[in-house]
A and B are shown apart, each in its own frame.
Chain A
Amino acid sequence: MTRRVWCIAILLYGAGAMLAAQEPGPVTTSDGWRLAEPGYTLQFPRDHGSHPAYRIEWWYYTGNLAAADGRRFGYQVTFFRIGVDPAPTNPSRWAVRDLHMAHLAVTDVSAEQHLTAERFDRGGVGWAGAREGTLDVWNGDWRVALDDQTHRVQAFDDRFGVDLRLEPGKPPTAHGDAGLSRKGAEFGNASHYYSMTRMPTTGQLRLDGDLVDVTGTSWMDHEFGTTFLEPGQVGWDWFSLQLDDGTDLMIYKLRRSTGQPDPFSSGTWVADDGAATPLPGDQVMLVPGRVWTSPSSDASYPVAWQLRVPSRQADLRVEALLDAQELDTANSTGVTYWEGAVTVSGRIGERDVTGRGYLEMTGYAGRPMSEVFR
């Protein structure tokens, strides 16, 4: 799952991830970070926690929520840990081993509002961090932690925020090859990646001082690795869809500078019972539709898509709940992207299906992602 890597990329000047000589034990880069390799077995709750041996890690929560009066909302809460130096020689607590970023966004569909906020911190005296062994990740007072089996997601900006309880729903889905998701041709350009694809959610949203009780469904992604992207990959389109027949679908497509889809694009089909089947990139067809142009960045995003998976006889139309769901992080990462709640309708075989989901589109504004990666 290569999306989101851009956030981190800026910090990886000349990352060059030189492989150390092949030795027994974990393979590491020359600067000491462990590469994602086959053979790693995901265990829970251990793997909900932090994996500081790897350079990059994120916890990604998105979801579609509704209030009792029928108002619809989307939300996104993301925590990133970006390794800078696995073993700083400076004994100061302020020495930077990892940087911690967090994004918060709430889409108020009826009010046609998309609110965003971000945090960026070093670990320092514990003002941001992530625990090993269990789920506990925080940045200031934004936090996601495990309360028994429940994921508690809390993040408030001064204007808006979320306080949600996410039940596990289906068991975790390991993507790719038993959780190893390949991103490129080179060895190690991969990540360990799993999702909780359908998490029943209750809680509250705050919007300009109003507290709104909401219920809905969330999707959680957790991914960690050290090296990801390769030259020529300009951006990606990523879908997480929850259909009303119980099917969940994760699709991502890397876009190359040649305009061709990248061979390492892929997806996962998760059946009602949680059984997961990998979808190779060539089994998924994505056709962009209506285009929305952002007034602030001038970027043009396809906010409607036709998605086909012929092997499953699936033909789905994905449409943004609100066109204007662009995040501008120019003040921190300098990258502008679109991430928002979508609605799904179409057919699988003979059945009509509908659903909800989230869509992420990068590489449409500013520099191509390959340059961001340098």
Chain B
Amino acid sequence: MTLFRQFIVRALVRDSRRSLATVAGLTLGVAVVIAIRLANAGSIRGFETALDVVAGQTSLEIVGAGVGVPDAQLAGLGWLREYGLVSPVIARTARLRGPDGVEHPLQVLGVDVLRDRPFREYQLLEFARGGGEPSAQELLALLLDSSSVVLTERFARRHGLDLESPVELIIGDRVHDSVVRGLLLDEGPARVVDGQLALLDVAVAQLLFDRIGWLDRVEIQLFDAGAIDDAEAAIAARLPEGLRVQRPAQRGRQVEKMLAAFHFNLTALSYIALVVGLFLVYNTVAVSVIARRSEIGILRALGTTRRTLLGLFLGEAALLAGLGVAVGLPTGWLLANGAVRLTATTVNVLYITSAATVPPLGLIDMLLACGVAMPLALAAAAIPAMEGASVAPIAAVRGTDRLESHDDGRRSRRAALAAAAFFAVGGWLATLGPVGGLPFYGLGATLAVIGGAAALVPVLLEVLRRVGRRLLVRWFGVEGMLAHANLSAAVRRLTVSVAALVVSLAMLAAIAIMIGSFRDTVTYWVGQTLRADLFVTTAGRGPAGPSPSISTEAEARVAAHSSVAAIDQFRTVDLTYGPDGDLIILGAARFEVLLEHGGLLFKEPADGRAAVARAIGVDAVIVSEAFALKQDVMVDDTIELDTPQGQRSFQVSAIYYDYSSDRGLVVMDQPTFARHYGNQRPVGLTVYLEPAADPETVREELLAALSPEFRLFINTNATLRAEVIRIFDATFAITYALEAIAIFVAIMGVATTLLTLVLERRDELVMLRLVGAGRTQIRRMVVIEAALLGVLSQGLGLAVGVVLSLILIYVINVQSFGWTIQFSLPVWFLVRSTLLVALATAVAGLYPARVAAGVAGREAR
């Protein structure tokens, strides 16, 4: 223990800057892993907790095909009471505007309180003083008026609302003047989504949400909750066509599945940051071993055993990793909060609206951080530590063990063979299909390619050693020659940190290429498909529920504008599809209008327009590429869709490109949709204007004509395109952020490696000064070494990055999201990043360069 204090702790304290850098690197690694876990958990946690608490005592629920459960059908389901208590539910989202004029999203629960009380506890503030809950009648009396809304105490307090406060409830395109008639205590369902819950009577909810005649689901609380399997089977057997019984958790699983690919990819990215962080740990430990090589020799000469020495260095690694974990955990939590803000945008825009909150750090995070960081840090430390302990004492003291034996080419041949093997495995893995909708093998392929890239590093360094000298001399003179000599002498030492940098840079290049290609593809797609002049929508989607609809009156006002040439309505409902109950989107549009004005891009068949023309009015659909890929559907296949009348068959007429949702879209002609799903109000309008009309002017005029009764969002073609690209960029902001961290960590790794080399070459540097080298020359030499490593890494990184991007685009992306991305090289970005990397590594070399100049100067005197 004394030895540990003197030998390790003192060294760490003495070299506090390097120790800090190490802990910082490790902290970053741990923090990124924890942050991604928390962020992933946070973005769906909002939905899951909402589900849990809102579901209350519900054991089973009846849901309909897309459009919900028709009241009329429910009348025949009186037999459900044989199994338990039955409660009708409308669950939607709305926005609420208080007296301060600020709008807040709300989950709205429309229930029949007479039936619902056994399901959920409603504790109202004004009844709490008298003790207990309000009676069913008291609650009903509060809710029956269609202007009544019950909010949560937490929400009200936060926004300065109280009983009898007037508020505006914004649902779809309508603004309703309401009054706060009750405040739910912060318990039970009121805790949902941070208190953003409003309680309505089911009849009022049907009216306000334009859902007269429909329920979103019917909940059942079984008399015998233990017999849930039997009850589920029995109810399923008795339900009429078009209705389905499921457990509330099913909804959560659907959402989870929907987000799984997104989160999987995010998590995979985060682990690259960790791997790079571990390279850094390796370097740090190596530096500490090398820097004290002579001390090791003395200790060994004094009789310290190898085991003790190994123990000392493992202890150091554990100490550093422990510090990294301790600081990394809270840092990760802070990072997660930032990340959730970024990912929440993506999740909201692409998937669901939910109040994402980062969960507090739990035991699992500590276990994860320790379980990942500790063993890997110890393993990374063990190798150089064993090397340090195995040094013969006399050699260590004299420093004669340092010089590497020159490679006879065998090692680099072995490395080249290993690289070839890695690439072959990677190529094979890339041909395998997804597992459970997740690209496990695709990810394996990227790992193999990364392994291959790492194996190529010694080959590259060997090539540099053999052929680089002349060029360096020509470009940088004597400093170039010296830099070449130094690097050539340290090929083995450099391999690890250069490999780390290569991997990070390759990932960055790959992701940049993929995102660039994707962005180009989407831009093209948007340009081709967004043909209408104006797009009219309402605000906000519900959690995995249909969008709010546009009322007849509002549509009439839009249609009445003199510049409007044609209007198409778009309807969507969420539908479960296939044996796994995947949540897909069923849309309806008028195919005739689509043919005349629209511009879908068809994947198959070649003449997509003719195929759409054939699908008019018949039981045929066109499906998005994502749907076709995920559900393994081809043109002319027949698919079975749930309708309120039961399952119906539809022929697939065409497959079209779509990048708006990876859930998969199925679109049918409006009359076909109406025939199967009834008259649903549209969720969006696409408006085509007279040729002479100015879209921006018409937009302003329409908004004026709709106000103040209706609240609709109108995008012009130009603003919608910009919006699509904005959403796209927001989606990938976090990807870039992650990669930036990885590269920062990698460059720090290069800097510490150079520091190692500098410390190792102490005697040579002194000798250089003695033979007349200036401090500037020595500094220049080290900076050239650094920049050289940066350029080499970037060169190999770019090459590997292109390979990785191909895997990302054609394997991982297709398996996760089902999108075709046209490959395109973002040349400018790559050129810029190359220059940046060279500059950054040169800058990172400044510190070791100063140390080198200092060492040489001090000792030469």
Contacts and interface: CB of A to CB of B under 8 A. Distances in A.
Q: Do A and B come from one complex?
A: yes
A124 B88 contact: yes
B137 A11 contact: yes
Given A158-B223, A331-B135, A90 B112 contact: no
A26 interface: no
Given A11-B141, A158-B223, A334 B75 contact: no
B265 interface: no
Nearest to A88: B203
Contacts of B12: none
Given A121-B114, A125-B71, A140 B81 contact: yes
Contacts of B141: 11, 13
A10 B213 contact: no
A171 B140 CA distance: 40
A127 B115 CA distance: 11
B150 to A, nearest CB: 16
B330 to A, nearest CB: 48
Contact of B88 (A84, A94, A334): A94
Nearest to A158: B223
Contacts of A94: 71, 88, 112, 201-203, 206
Contacts of B136: 120, 332
B146 A90 contact: yes
A191 B370 CA distance: 78
Nearest to B110: A94
Contacts of A120: 114, 136
Contact of A96 (B71, B88, B140): B140
A53 interface: no
Residue picked from A85, A91, A126, A127, most chain B C-beta under 10 Å: A127
A92 interface: yes
Contacts of B78: 127, 140-141
A120 B75 CA distance: 17
Interface string B101-115: 000000000001011
A95 interface: yes
A266 to B, nearest CB: 30
Residue picked from B71, B74, B114, most chain A C-beta under 10 Å: B114
Contact residues of B: prevailing secondary structure: helix
B144 A84 contact: yes
- Chain B interface residue number, banded: 20 to 34
Given A11-B141, A13-B141, A125-B74, A93 B207 contact: no
A109 to B, nearest CB: 29
A90 B203 contact: yes
B204 interface: yes
Nearest to B74: A125
B566 interface: no
Contacts of B112: 94, 122, 124
Contacts of B144: 84-85, 96
B560 interface: no
Contacts, number: 69
Interface in B478-529: none
Interface string B64-81: 000000011011001001
B75 A125 contact: yes
B60 to A, nearest CB: 18
Nearest to A13: B141
A92 B88 contact: no
B81 A96 contact: no
A89 B146 CA distance: 10
Contacts of B75: 125-127
A334 B498 CA distance: 78
Contacts of A92: 202-204, 206-207, 212-213
A93 to B, nearest CB: 5
Contacts of B135: 10, 331-334
Interface in A42-99: 84-85, 88-96, 99
Contact of A95 (B74, B114, B203): B203
Contacts of A125: 71-72, 74-75
A90 B207 contact: yes
Nearest to A330: B135
Given A120-B114, A124-B88, A141 B81 contact: yes
Contacts of A89: 146
B203 A121 contact: no
A334 B139 CA distance: 13
B71 A93 contact: yes
Contacts of B115: 121
Interface string B52-94: 0000000000000000000110110010010000001000000
Nearest to A100: B114
A73 B524 CA distance: 82
B707 to A, nearest CB: 25
A120 B118 CA distance: 13
Nearest to A89: B146
Contacts of B72: 125
B204 A90 contact: yes
Interface in B322-360: none
A374 to B, nearest CB: 12
Contact of B213 (A93, A121, A124): A93
Interface of A: 10-11, 13, 84-85, 88-96, 99, 120-122, 124-127, 140-141, 158, 331-334
The 9 residue pairs across chains A and B that have the minimum distance between CB atoms: A94-B203, A92-B203, A92-B206, A125-B75, A95-B203, A94-B202, A126-B75, A125-B74, A90-B207
Given A92-B206, A99-B140, A158-B223, 11 more contacts: A91-B212, A92-B203, A93-B203, A94-B112, A95-B203, A95-B207, A96-B201, A99-B137, A125-B72, A125-B74, A333-B135
